Amino acid sequence: MKLFMDQAIGLMKNYNLIKKMKTRLTFNKKITLTFSIIIIISLILYASLIITLFAVNFQNSKFMHELRKTPGLNENTIKSIEEFNKMPKERMLPPLIILRPDVLFKITFILSGGVLFIILIATLGGFIFLRRTLKQIDYITKNVEEIDERKLHLRLNIKGKDAIAKMSQTFDAMLDKLEASFDSQKLFFQNASHELNTPLTVIKTNIDVLRQNNNATKEEYDDVINIIDNEIKRLSGISDSLLNLTVNEIKEKAKKES
Amino acid sequence: MKILVIEDEKLIADILKKGLEFHKFSVDVAYCGCDGYLLTQQFEYDVVILDLMLPDINGEEVCRKIRQDKNSVYILMLTAKKQSEDIVNGLNYGADDYLTKPFEFSVLLARIRALLRRATDKKENILEILNIRLFIDKEKVEVDSKEIELTKKEYMILEYLMRNKGQLLSRNQILEHAWDRNVDIFSNIVNTHIKNLRKKIGKTGNIIETVYGSGYRINEKL
């Protein structure tokens, strides 16, 4: 039981390690790793193919050698086999696909070499292209991370017509819209604040001036009270219109959604 | 002391005029930027109280124009714009002080007096000539440490003369500084007030010297 527990804990530890490894690997590194694995596997395959070919050739020549040593075998048979082996290529007609071992060896060698070459080029090309794209994405991420509500004027400014450039241009356009809406909101709040401030200032200053006048008459008091009354009406009017504005906005949203 | 209030909100402008006149300033009011600017060209003000959000040309523009005329009148911006960038902009346009609405009237008063103090060498709230002492913040006058009762206009004339002691001030200048722009400039109202002032000050009343055909000045040597 204890042993089992230990094993379980060991497994857990391993799992954690793998998890850590996974989180530690960035996307960039993962791609590098994948491409290098592809290259290594293709190199191993190619090497094993070459080794196999050499082995076959070696076995073939050994077989011929053994054949010659065999007593009682017809000399003619050996000769015909050897002649076949030394036959010039021109005489091998296409329909008769009987290839001499050395020709077969050469063709396989060239073909597999070509395939390996293509695989290498494709992998390398893909790798470089991906790295470049990733760099652009990294640049975009870094710049976008910097943008907050105070730095809405920042733009990515990537020119071009590829997908990434188009994406960043769309992003810039979105930022334009956001900035405009932020600005208009700011202006609205400024105006609202001004509208609210004016009546407050009128009330406050009237009270201040009245307070400093120790010999104020009843008429003066009445004047100030009237002014304050009017200004309070104005304030409540402003608050009503602000409320109406938000209510209308909510209604419009509901309409759009339905 | 003469103040110009440029403020489009009539209620604020009116209560400012009322409050400042109560504290012995003469006040002109302009309800838009153009009027205000023209008034600064016509009259010699000590302080301009300037709103920033005006219907025709905005306050910053008015301030810039006043400074372009090489007019060094003190400008106090009084506005609802509270953000620090607005304050920085306002002061950079040539304003001397900045106050945001809503404000405490006593603060406004203190700031106006602080601005006026800059014009004098003495950074105190007391103007003193011989045995006459004028307390700017308390708005009262003492002769030989005894308070004397002055009317608003008499106080304003005395303050103006004492602030510019030794300088010849014409009747028109005195009229402009102690009354608002609706005064009849051909009246001899100044003469009457000066006569009363001399009587109230008593022995040293004759330091207010009459320069015939020109105006008045305070002359300590008499």
CATH number at residue A251: 1.10.287
> Does A209 contact B101 at a Cβ distance shorter than 8 Å?
no
Using a CB-CB cut-off of 8 Å, the residues of chain A touching B104 are 204, 208
Q: Which residues pair with B30 in a beta bridge?
A: B6
- Within a domain: A102: yes
Domain spanning B2-119: CATH 3.40.50.2300: yes
Residue type, A184: S
**Per-residue pLDDT tens digits for B126-174:** 888 888 888 888 888 888 888 888 888 889 888 888 888 888 888 888 8
Q: What's the CATH fold of domain B126-218?
A: Arc Repressor Mutant, subunit A (1.10.10)
Query: Which residue in chain B is spatially nearest to A214 when comparing CA positions?
Result: B22
Q: Which two tokens stand for residue A108?
A: 């396989």
A-chain CB neighbours of B81 within 8 Å are 190, 194
pLDDT of A48 reads: 86
Q: Report the chain B residue with the minimal C-alpha distance to residue A216.
A: B22
Q: Is A62 within 8 Å of A118 (Cβ atoms)?
A: no
If asked whether residues A198 and A130 sit together in one domain, one would say no
Q: What is the ipTM of this complex?
A: 0.77
Of A146, A174, A200, the residue that ends a domain is A146
DSSP chain A: -HHHHHHHHHHHHHHHHHHHHHHHS-HHHHHHHHHHHHHHHHHHHHHHHHHHHHHHHHHHHHHHHHHHH-TT--HHHHHHHHHHHH--GGGS-TT-----HHHHHHHHHHHHHHHHHHHHHHHHHHHHHHHHHHHHHHHHHHHHHH--TT-TT------SSSHHHHHHHHHHHHHHHHHHHHHHHHHHHHHHHHHHHHHHHHHHHHHHHHHH-TT--HHHHHHHHHHHHHHHHHHHHHHHHHHHHHHHHHHHHHHHH-
Verify whether the Cβ–Cβ distance A198 to B9 is below 8 Å. Answer: yes
Q: Which of B5, B7, B8, B11 to probe the A interface (max A CBs under 10 A)? A: B11
Domain-embedded: residue A37: yes
> Are A210 and A135 within one domain?
no
**Domain spans of chain B, in order of start:** 2-119, 126-218
For A202, which of B12, B23, B106 is closest by C-beta distance? B12
Indicate if A29 and A139 belong to the same structural domain: yes
B11 touches chain A (CB under 8 A): yes
Residues of B in Cβ contact (< 8 Å) with A203: 102
Q: Are the Cβ atoms of B9 and A193 closer than 8 angstroms?
A: no
HEC sequence for A233-253: HHHHHHHHHHHHHHHHHHHHH
CB contact under 8 A, A212 and B19: yes
Paired strand residues for B78 = B99
Q: Report yes or no: B3 and B45 within 8 Å, Cβ to Cβ.
A: yes
* Structural domain boundaries, residue A50: 2-146
B138 touches chain A (CB under 8 A): no
Task: Yes or no: say if A166 and A135 are a contact pair by the CB < 8 Å rule.
Answer: no
Q: Which of B12, B23, B80 sits opposite A205 (nearest CB)?
A: B12
> CB of A200 within 8 Å of any CB in chain B?
yes
Tell me whether residue A164 is in a domain. Answer: no
**pLDDT beneath 70, residues of chain A:** 1-26, 71-74, 84-85, 87-102
Tens-digit pLDDT profile for residues A54-97: 887 777 777 777 777 776 666 777 777 777 667 665 555 444 44
Local structure of B178: helix, strand or coil: helix
Residues A92, A202, single domain; the answer is no
A19 and A122 co-located in one domain: yes
Average pLDDT along chain B, 222 residues, taken 10 residues at a time = 91 91 91 92 91 88 91 90 87 92 90 86 78 85 86 88 85 84 79 87 82 84 68
Contact B105 A231 (CB under 8 A): no
Give the closest of B15, B23, B82 to A205, CB-based.
B15
Contact assessment for residue B37 and residue B65, using Cβ atoms and an 8 Å cutoff: yes
8 Å CB contact between B160 and B174 = yes
Instruction: Judge whether A115 lies within some domain.
Output: yes
Q: Is residue A105 part of a domain?
A: yes
Is residue A118 located within the same domain as residue A33?
Answer: yes
The answer to whether the Cα torsion of B182, B185, B189, B193 is positive or negative is positive
**pLDDT score, position A95:** 45
Do A134 and A197 fall within a single domain?
Answer: no
Neighbour count for residue A190 (Cβ, 10 Å): 16
Q: Do B106 and A202 touch (CB under 8 A)?
A: no
Tally C-beta pairs within 8 A across A and B.
Answer: 56
**Which chain A residues are closer than 8 Å to B15 by Cβ?**
202, 205-206, 209, 227
B106 contact residues in A (CB cutoff 8 A): 208, 212
Q: Which chain B positions have a beta carbon within 8 Å of A213's beta carbon?
A: 22
Residues A21 and A138 both lie in one domain: yes
Which residues numbered 89-118 in B keep a CB inside 8 Å of some CB on A? 101-106
Q: Which of A193, A198, A205 sits opposite B105 (nearest CB)?
A: A205
At B112 the pLDDT is 93
How confident is the prediction for chain A on average, in pLDDT?
A: 80
Within a domain: A174: no
A168 Cβ under 8 Å from any chain B Cβ: no
Measured between alpha carbons, how far is A77 from B35 in angstroms, rounded to an integer? 127
Q: In total, how many domains does chain A have?
A: 2
Q: What is the pLDDT of residues B103-115, one digit of tens each?
A: 999 999 999 999 9
CB contacts of A205 in chain B (<8 Å) are 12, 15-16, 19, 102-103, 105
Q: Which residues in chain B are contacts of A209 at CB distance < 8 A? A: 15, 18-19, 22, 105
CB–CB contact A197 B80 (8 Å): yes
Would you say residue A166 lies in a domain?
Answer: no
Whether A211 is in a domain gets the answer: yes
